[in-house]
A and B are shown apart, each in its own frame.
Chain A
Amino acid sequence: MSKNHPNYVSTTNACKLCRPLGACLAFKGIEGTVPYLHGSQGCATYMRRYIISHYNEPIDIASSSLSEKHAVYGGGPNLKLGLTNVAEKYRPRMIGIATTCLTETIGDDVGMYLQEYAKDTAGSKGLPDIVNVSTPSYAGTHMEGFHGAIDQVIEQMAEGGPQNRTVNLLPGFVSSADYRLLREIMDDFGLDCTMLPDLSDTMDGPAMLEYEKVPAGGTPLAAIKAMGRSRATIEFGRTLGRKGSGGFRLRKKFNIDDHRLGMPIGIEETDRFFDLLCSLSGRPVPEKYVAERGRLVDAYVDGHKYVFGKKAIIYGEEDLVVGMSAFLAEIGIFPILCASGGTSGRLAEAIAAVTADILPRQPEIHEGMDFFDISEMAETLAPDLIVGHSKGYPLARKLNIPLIRVGFPIHDRVGGQRILHLGYSGAQRLFDTVTNAVIAKKQADSRVGYSYM
Chain B
Amino acid sequence: MEAVALKERENQIYIKGETPFNIVCDKDSLAGAVSQRACVFCGSRVVLYPIADALHLVHGPIGCAVYTWDIRGALSSGPELHRLSFSTDLQEMDVIFGGEKKLRQALLELIDRHNPKAAFVYSTCIVGIIGDDLEAICRQVEREKGIPVIPVKSEGFKGNKRAGYQAACDAMFRLIGTGETSSISKFSLNILGDFNLAGEIWMIREYYERMGIEVVANITGDGRVDDIRRAHGAALNVVQCSGSTMQLANMMEEQYGVPSMRVSYFGVEDMSEALYDIARFFKKKFPGDREADAIMERTTALVKEEVRNLMPGLEKYRKALAGKKAAIYVGGSFKAFSLVKAFRLVDMEVVLVGSQTGTEEDYRELEAITDPGTIIVDDSNPLELTSFLKEKGVDIFVGGVKERPIAYKLGIGFCDHNHERKEILAGFEGMLNFAREVYSSVMSPVWRFVPRAKSME
Q: Is residue B225 contacting chain A, with contact meaning CB distance below 8 A?
A: no
Shortest distance from the beta carbon of A8 to any chain B beta carbon, whole Å? 6
Which residues in B have their C-beta under 8 angstroms from that of A53?
401
Q: For B64, B67, B128, which residue has the most chain A Cβ atoms within 10 angstroms?
A: B67
Q: Is residue A42 contacting chain B, with contact meaning CB distance below 8 A?
A: yes
Q: Is residue A233 contacting chain B, with contact meaning CB distance below 8 A?
A: no
B415-429 contacts to A, CB under 8 A, are none
Which residues in B have their C-beta under 8 angstroms from that of A391?
69
In the complex, what distance in Å separates the CA atom of A137 from the CA atom of B124? 13
Q: Is residue B34 contacting chain A, with contact meaning CB distance below 8 A?
A: yes
Verify A58–B382 contact, CB threshold 8 A: yes
Q: Is residue A326 contacting chain B, with contact meaning CB distance below 8 A?
A: no
Which of B61, B129, B158, B390 contacts A18, CB < 8 Å?
B61
Shortest distance from the beta carbon of A176 to any chain B beta carbon, whole Å? 14
Q: Is residue A17 contacting chain B, with contact meaning CB distance below 8 A?
A: yes
In the complex, what distance in Å separates the CA atom of A150 from the CA atom of B91? 23
Shortest distance from the beta carbon of B455 to any chain A beta carbon, whole Å? 6
Verify B32–A46 contact, CB threshold 8 A: no
Shortest distance from the beta carbon of A291 to any chain B beta carbon, whole Å? 33
In the complex, what distance in Å separates the CA atom of A105 from the CA atom of B450? 47
Verify B125–A71 contact, CB threshold 8 A: yes
What is the 8 Å Cβ interface bit string for chain B, positions 63-103, against chain A (1 contact, 0 not)?
11111111100000000000011111111101100000010
Which residues in B have their C-beta under 8 angstroms from that of A84?
32
Q: Is residue B259 contacting chain A, with contact meaning CB distance below 8 A?
A: no
B381-420 contacts to A, CB under 8 A, are 382-383, 386-387, 390, 401-402, 404-406, 408-411
Taking residues whose C-beta sits less than 8 angstroms from the other chain, chain B's interface range is 35 or more
Q: Given A9-B106, A39-B125, A101-B125, does the pair A63, B34 have CB atoms closer than 8 Å? A: yes
B105-157 contacts to A, CB under 8 A, are 105-107, 109-110, 124-126, 128-130, 156-157
Which residues in B have their C-beta under 8 angstroms from that of A16?
62, 66
Shortest distance from the beta carbon of B417 to any chain A beta carbon, whole Å? 15
A90-144 contacts to B, CB under 8 A, are 90, 100-102, 105-106, 136-139, 141
Verify B94–A138 contact, CB threshold 8 A: yes
Q: Is residue A41 contacting chain B, with contact meaning CB distance below 8 A?
A: yes
In the complex, what distance in Å separates the CA atom of A128 from the CA atom of B387? 23
Verify A105–B28 contact, CB threshold 8 A: no
Verify B62–A13 contact, CB threshold 8 A: no
In the complex, what distance in Å separates the CA atom of A66 from the CA atom of B84? 29
Q: Given A10-B106, A138-B94, A391-B69, does the pair A61, B34 have CB atoms closer than 8 Å? A: yes
Residue of B nearest to A90 (CB): B383
Shortest distance from the beta carbon of B78 to any chain A beta carbon, whole Å? 17
Shortest distance from the beta carbon of B219 to any chain A beta carbon, whole Å? 24
Which residues in B have their C-beta under 8 angstroms from that of A49?
67, 71, 401-402
Verify A207–B157 contact, CB threshold 8 A: no
Q: Given A60-B382, A391-B69, does the pair A9, B63 have CB atoms closer than 8 Å? A: no
In the complex, what distance in Å separates the CA atom of A432 from the CA atom of B159? 50
Verify A42–B42 contact, CB threshold 8 A: yes
Q: Is residue B252 contacting chain A, with contact meaning CB distance below 8 A?
A: no
Verify A46–B92 contact, CB threshold 8 A: no
Which residues in A have their C-beta under 8 angstroms from that of B64?
18, 42-43, 46
In the complex, what distance in Å separates the CA atom of A81 from the CA atom of B30? 9
Q: Given A58-B405, A64-B31, A138-B95, does the pair A41, B39 have CB atoms closer than 8 Å? A: yes
A190-244 contacts to B, CB under 8 A, are 205, 207-209, 211, 213
Verify B125–A102 contact, CB threshold 8 A: yes
Which residues in B have their C-beta under 8 angstroms from that of A45?
35-39, 42, 402
Q: Is residue B451 contacting chain A, with contact meaning CB distance below 8 A?
A: yes
Verify B66–A42 contact, CB threshold 8 A: no
Q: Is residue B60 contacting chain A, with contact meaning CB distance below 8 A?
A: yes
Which residues in B have their C-beta under 8 angstroms from that of A106?
129
Shortest distance from the beta carbon of B122 to any chain A beta carbon, whole Å? 12
Verify B401–A46 contact, CB threshold 8 A: no
Q: Is residue A185 contacting chain B, with contact meaning CB distance below 8 A?
A: no
Which residues in A have their C-beta under 8 angstroms from that of B40?
42
Which of B86, B91, B106 contacts A138, CB < 8 Å?
B91
Verify A62–B382 contact, CB threshold 8 A: no
Verify B34–A78 contact, CB threshold 8 A: no
Verify B86–A12 contact, CB threshold 8 A: yes
Verify A71–B29 contact, CB threshold 8 A: no
Which residues in B have their C-beta under 8 angstroms from that of A78?
31
Verify A13–B84 contact, CB threshold 8 A: yes
Verify A62–B33 contact, CB threshold 8 A: yes
Which of B6, B60, B86, B410 contacts A211, CB < 8 Å?
B410
Which residues in B have their C-beta under 8 angstroms from that of A43?
39, 63-64, 156
Q: For A49, A85, A205, which residue has the most chain B Cβ atoms within 10 angstroms?
A: A49
In the complex, what distance in Å separates the CA atom of A44 from the CA atom of B387? 22
Q: For A10, A52, A89, which residue has the most chain B Cβ atoms within 10 angstroms?
A: A10
In the complex, what distance in Å separates the CA atom of A136 from the CA atom of B92? 9
Which residues in B have their C-beta under 8 angstroms from that of A209?
410-411, 451-452, 455
Shortest distance from the beta carbon of A345 to any chain B beta carbon, whole Å? 15
Q: Is residue B169 contacting chain A, with contact meaning CB distance below 8 A?
A: no
Verify A65–B41 contact, CB threshold 8 A: no
Which residues in A have their C-beta under 8 angstroms from that of B408?
56, 207
Which of B33, B63, B450 contacts A21, CB < 8 Å?
B63
Verify B129–A10 contact, CB threshold 8 A: no
Shortest distance from the beta carbon of B57 to any chain A beta carbon, whole Å? 7
Verify A40–B91 contact, CB threshold 8 A: no
Residue of B nearest to A41 (CB): B29
Verify A41–B38 contact, CB threshold 8 A: yes
In the complex, what distance in Å separates the CA atom of A100 from the CA atom of B383? 24
Q: Given A139-B92, A208-B451, does the pair A86, B63 have CB atoms closer than 8 Å? A: no
Shortest distance from the beta carbon of A28 to any chain B beta carbon, whole Å? 13
Which of B29, B31, B390, B411 contacts A207, CB < 8 Å?
B411
In the complex, what distance in Å separates the CA atom of A105 from the CA atom of B157? 13
In the complex, what distance in Å separates the CA atom of A66 from the CA atom of B30? 9
Which residues in A have their C-beta under 8 angstroms from that of B410?
207-209, 211
Residue of B nearest to A207 (CB): B450
Q: Is residue A82 contacting chain B, with contact meaning CB distance below 8 A?
A: yes
Verify A89–B90 contact, CB threshold 8 A: no
Shortest distance from the beta carbon of B62 to any chain A beta carbon, whole Å? 5
Which residues in B have their C-beta under 8 angstroms from that of A86?
32
Which residues in B have their C-beta under 8 angstroms from that of A68?
157-159
Which residues in B have their C-beta under 8 angstroms from that of A52?
401-402, 404-405
In the complex, what distance in Å separates the CA atom of A89 from the CA atom of B71? 31
In the complex, what distance in Å separates the CA atom of A376 from the CA atom of B300? 54
Chain B residues proximal to chain A, CB less than 8 Å: 6, 28-42, 57, 60-71, 84-92, 94-95, 102, 105-107, 109-110, 124-126, 128-130, 156-160, 382-383, 386-387, 390, 401-402, 404-406, 408-411, 449-452, 455
- Give me the 10 closest cross-chain CB pairs, A-B, nearest first: A42-B39, A18-B63, A82-B32, A85-B32, A82-B31, A10-B106, A209-B451, A46-B67, A40-B157, A11-B89
Q: Please name 27 pairs of A and B residues whose Cβ atoms are closer than 8 Å in the assembled complex, sorted by A.
A: A10-B57, A10-B86, A10-B88, A10-B89, A11-B86, A14-B89, A18-B64, A18-B67, A21-B63, A40-B125, A42-B39, A43-B39, A45-B36, A45-B39, A57-B409, A58-B409, A62-B33, A63-B32, A63-B34, A65-B33, A65-B35, A82-B32, A106-B129, A137-B62, A207-B450, A209-B452, A211-B410
Given A46-B67, A55-B405, A61-B34, 19 more contacts at CB 8 Å? A8-B109, A9-B105, A10-B87, A11-B88, A39-B125, A42-B64, A47-B67, A48-B402, A58-B409, A60-B382, A62-B33, A63-B32, A64-B32, A65-B29, A71-B157, A78-B31, A84-B32, A105-B95, A208-B451
